[in-house]
Chains A and B, each alone.
Chain A
Amino acid sequence: MDSLITAASQALTAGDPLGALKRVALREDAPALALRGIAMAQLEDFPRARDLLRRAAKAFGTGEPVARARCAVAEAEIALVSRDLVRTSGALETARLTLASLGDEMNAAHAGYLLARWHLLTGKLDDAAALVAETDRTALPPASRVGLALVAAGIAMRRVRAADVRDALGQARRTANSAGIPALLAEVGHAEQAFAAPAARIITGGTNRLAGLEEVEALIASDMLLVDTCRDAIRSGRHKVRLAGRPVLFALARALAEAWPDEVTREQLLACAFGAKHADESHRARLRVEIGRLRRKLSAMANLKATKAGFVLETHTHSGVAVLAPPAEERHGTLLALLADGEAWSSSALALALGVSARTTQRALEELSSEGKVESFGRGRACRWVARTIPGFPTCLLLPALSPRG
């Protein structure tokens, strides 16, 4: 490194991005562009930061692949913190492999952590878990080690494995305490609160109560016939039927499970599955078809017995029936759950994470916005959405070390 780059990085390390910029503001060489990008990121001017890092990567060129890959990792981290997940994660994966093959283990591991987080956010749990397993924790600086542990906790939460969540959060807490970085401690605190909060409501035998992740896990592991509305699935012991994309079948199953062991009348079933107020003969015919479909789907777990007035669920085992529902069932609950992390999301990133179309997401956001539950800032492609209850947009940029080690 040269004299001014050293002085500027020293200022950055000391938390003085303006001091860093002052020293290299007029320079256009690759290391200066990279430092200016990092300083801009710390000042939360993300679009300019990404532009500078992109120019730095270009200026480093093919002759300096390690430095170029470090810029790509920093750019990806900024995209992640600003929730701009629209671009593919391909550039980050390429940079990770470059760094690993050229011996920069620390930044390769940091890229692995970022990629795992990216996959977790876009719901690719298997890919995220594979990266957590593959990433060398010991090569990471403490801050990104906390991040990796939080990713592991997030994966375990989505997979409903309470013991794994507890392990990962414990690890995150210990590392964050010894690193003593306030932003990280806050992030660990949020994750701990999310774990302590109710994970679902359990509706069974006429009761309806909130339950923690541990209880939900026990319920899933039991032989109970479980209509899981959080995961659009019906399960009982080792049997599982996914009904994603079959809303009518799912609504019927849920109505029958909530009433169990009592019957549900045809009128009630028609009302909840088709929204029909007056049942005519064509509705009845359609109900017969749908019940027949559901009966085939559930044949390994339960029987749908016709009664005089309607239908009743009969399990093959004697372990009971329950419905698992989100803690708060309101319209667009999953969308609000994503925004509840306090970050600013683009509508296309939300659509990607929810697995629905951009139009559907946009409509939902506008509806929630008119109810005062979410708000947006920025225009056009730069437009971002946040939950109204969250003050400000916390960011926790860790950023790769740009200077060579030795």
Chain B
Amino acid sequence: MKRSKAEITREYGPFPGTDGVAGVSFDGARIWVATGNKLNAVDPESGETLRSIEVAAHAGTAFDGKHLFQIAEAVIHKIDPETGAILATIPAPAKGGDSGMAWAEGSLWVGEHRGAKIHQIDPETGAILRTIASDRFVTGVTWVEGELWHGTWQEDKSDLRRIDPSTGEVLECLEMPDGKGVSGLESDGGERFFCGGGTSQTVRAIRRPRDSG
């Protein structure tokens, strides 16, 4: 396993009036930030909040190219990002113990926080297709260029780790500085990860090491 320090390249927020950042996604142009009772669309260049959708947003957020998926209490809502309308609802795999979420290859990948697992589920029914085990609390999940990354945050220590999707083996680990946790993770498809910063109410951009793989 390769181990290195996470390099924070930018900090967005703090987004005031919230308890913290619960989930992060990226739709190709905007960062979507789940802050408990709202989804905020943030411009990655200016850092401005462009608009907000009033919707329960308690954990992970994902984007399938057209719709947003958002964990709220013990379910996952499929949301139209333009109107904010909830189009469909499926059960969340950990029944409310869910944390991060990503979309890839026609499936949703949902982190189970204290269960330290990642579930691959059918986005239409919520049925669990398979489960990958980790050894740390999962706080965010993302796929980028065939790599599965997840965030961990346990006992005030936090890191980003790339794991083998078939075995769960940790291949690479980026350690967050002390006191900076990851609550939600999304890649921009290129060099950047966006990480939710928990109760600091921020989103941090982390450089993705390009020589990995």
> What total of chain B residues lie within 8 Å of the partner, measured CB to CB?
37
Q: Is the CB of A2 within 8 A of B156?
A: no
Q: Is the CB of B96 within 8 A of A102?
A: no
Give, as a whole number of angstroms, the nearest-CB distance from B207 to chain A: 19
In chain B, positions 148-183 with a C-beta closer than 8 Å to chain A are 153-156, 158, 178-183
- In the complex, B98 has a CB within 8 A of chain A: yes
- In the complex, B19 has a CB within 8 A of chain A: yes
Give, as a whole number of angstroms, the nearest-CB distance from A58 to chain B: 15
Give, as a whole number of angstroms, the nearest-CB distance from A147 to chain B: 22
| CB<8 Å pairs between A and B, sample of 26 | A1-B59, A2-B94, A3-B71, A3-B73, A3-B74, A3-B92, A3-B99, A4-B74, A6-B36, A6-B58, A7-B36, A7-B56, A7-B96, A10-B19, A10-B37, A23-B73, A29-B97, A31-B114, A64-B154, A64-B155, A66-B156, A401-B199, A404-B181, A405-B179, A405-B200, A406-B199
Q: Is the CB of B98 within 8 A of A406?
A: no
Query: How far does the alpha carbon of A199 sit from the alpha carbon of B26 in the complex, in Å?
Result: 65
- In the complex, A13 has a CB within 8 A of chain B: yes
Q: Is the CB of B198 within 8 A of A404?
A: yes
Q: Is the CB of B98 within 8 A of A3?
A: yes
B-contact 0/1 string along A11-29, CB 8 Å cutoff: 0010000000001000101
Which of chain A's residues has its CB closest to B138's CB?
A: A2
With A2-B94, A4-B96 known as contacts, the answer to whether A406 contacts B73 (CB < 8 A) is: no
Q: Is the CB of A2 within 8 A of B73?
A: no
With A3-B71, A403-B199 known as contacts, the answer to whether A10 contacts B36 (CB < 8 A) is: yes
- In the complex, A90 has a CB within 8 A of chain B: no
Which of chain B's residues has its CB closest to A29's CB?
A: B114
B-contact 0/1 string along A183-225, CB 8 Å cutoff: 0000000000000000000000000000000000000000000
Query: How far does the alpha carbon of A9 sit from the alpha carbon of B112 in the complex, in Å?
Result: 18
In chain B, positions 25-73 with a C-beta closer than 8 Å to chain A are 36-37, 56, 58-60, 71-73
Give me the 6 closest cross-chain CB pairs, A-B, nearest first: A406-B181, A4-B96, A3-B59, A2-B113, A6-B58, A406-B198
- In the complex, A378 has a CB within 8 A of chain B: no
With A1-B99, A2-B113, A23-B96 known as contacts, the answer to whether A7 contacts B199 (CB < 8 A) is: no
- In the complex, B22 has a CB within 8 A of chain A: yes
Query: How far does the alpha carbon of A67 sit from the alpha carbon of B200 in the complex, in Å?
Result: 18
Query: How far does the alpha carbon of A67 sit from the alpha carbon of B153 in the complex, in Å?
Result: 13
- In the complex, A245 has a CB within 8 A of chain B: no
Q: Which of A2, A13, A404 is in CB contact (< 8 Å) with B97?
A: A2
Q: Is the CB of B99 within 8 A of A103?
A: no
- In the complex, B123 has a CB within 8 A of chain A: no
- In the complex, A63 has a CB within 8 A of chain B: yes
B-contact 0/1 string along A72-112, CB 8 Å cutoff: 00000000000000000000000000000011100000000
Give, as a whole number of angstroms, the nearest-CB distance from B99 to chain A: 5
In the bound complex, residues from chain A placing their C-beta under 8 Å from that of B59 are: 1-3, 6
Query: How far does the alpha carbon of A64 sit from the alpha carbon of B157 in the complex, in Å?
Result: 11
Q: Which of B36, B72, B114, B158 is in CB contact (< 8 Å) with A406?
A: B158
Q: Is the CB of A104 within 8 A of B114?
A: no
Interface centre among A1, A63, A102 (most CB of B within 10 A): A1
- In the complex, A65 has a CB within 8 A of chain B: yes
In the bound complex, residues from chain A placing their C-beta under 8 Å from that of B113 are: 1-2, 5
Query: How far does the alpha carbon of A2 sit from the alpha carbon of B113 in the complex, in Å?
Result: 6
In the bound complex, residues from chain B placing their C-beta under 8 Å from that of A64 are: 154-155
Interface centre among B19, B56, B58, B98 (most CB of A within 10 A): B58
Which of chain B's residues has its CB closest to A2's CB?
A: B113
With A2-B96, A6-B59 known as contacts, the answer to whether A404 contacts B199 (CB < 8 A) is: yes
B-contact 0/1 string along A49-71, CB 8 Å cutoff: 00000000000000111110000
Give, as a whole number of angstroms, the nearest-CB distance from A313 to chain B: 65
In the bound complex, residues from chain A placing their C-beta under 8 Å from that of B183 are: 1, 406
Give, as a whole number of angstroms, the nearest-CB distance from A41 to chain B: 19
B-contact 0/1 string along A385-406, CB 8 Å cutoff: 0000000000000000101111
Which of chain A's residues has its CB closest to B74's CB?
A: A4
In the bound complex, residues from chain B placing their C-beta under 8 Å from that of A103 are: 156, 178-179
Which of chain A's residues has its CB closest to B200's CB?
A: A406
In the bound complex, residues from chain A placing their C-beta under 8 Å from that of B98 are: 2-3
Which of chain B's residues has its CB closest to A105's CB?
A: B179
Q: Is the CB of A406 within 8 A of B179?
A: yes
In chain B, positions 65-110 with a C-beta closer than 8 Å to chain A are 71-74, 92, 94, 96-99
With A1-B183, A29-B97, A404-B181 known as contacts, the answer to whether A6 contacts B19 (CB < 8 A) is: yes
Which of chain A's residues has its CB closest to B153's CB?
A: A404
With A9-B19, A10-B58 known as contacts, the answer to whether A3 contacts B72 (CB < 8 A) is: yes
Query: How far does the alpha carbon of A31 sit from the alpha carbon of B178 in the complex, in Å?
Result: 22
In the bound complex, residues from chain A placing their C-beta under 8 Å from that of B97 are: 2-4, 27, 29
Query: How far does the alpha carbon of A67 sit from the alpha carbon of B154 in the complex, in Å?
Result: 10
Give, as a whole number of angstroms, the nearest-CB distance from B122 to chain A: 19
Query: How far does the alpha carbon of A67 sit from the alpha carbon of B155 in the complex, in Å?
Result: 7
Give, as a whole number of angstroms, the nearest-CB distance from A320 to chain B: 62
In the bound complex, residues from chain B placing their C-beta under 8 Å from that of A10 are: 19, 36-37, 58
Which of chain A's residues has its CB closest to B199's CB?
A: A405
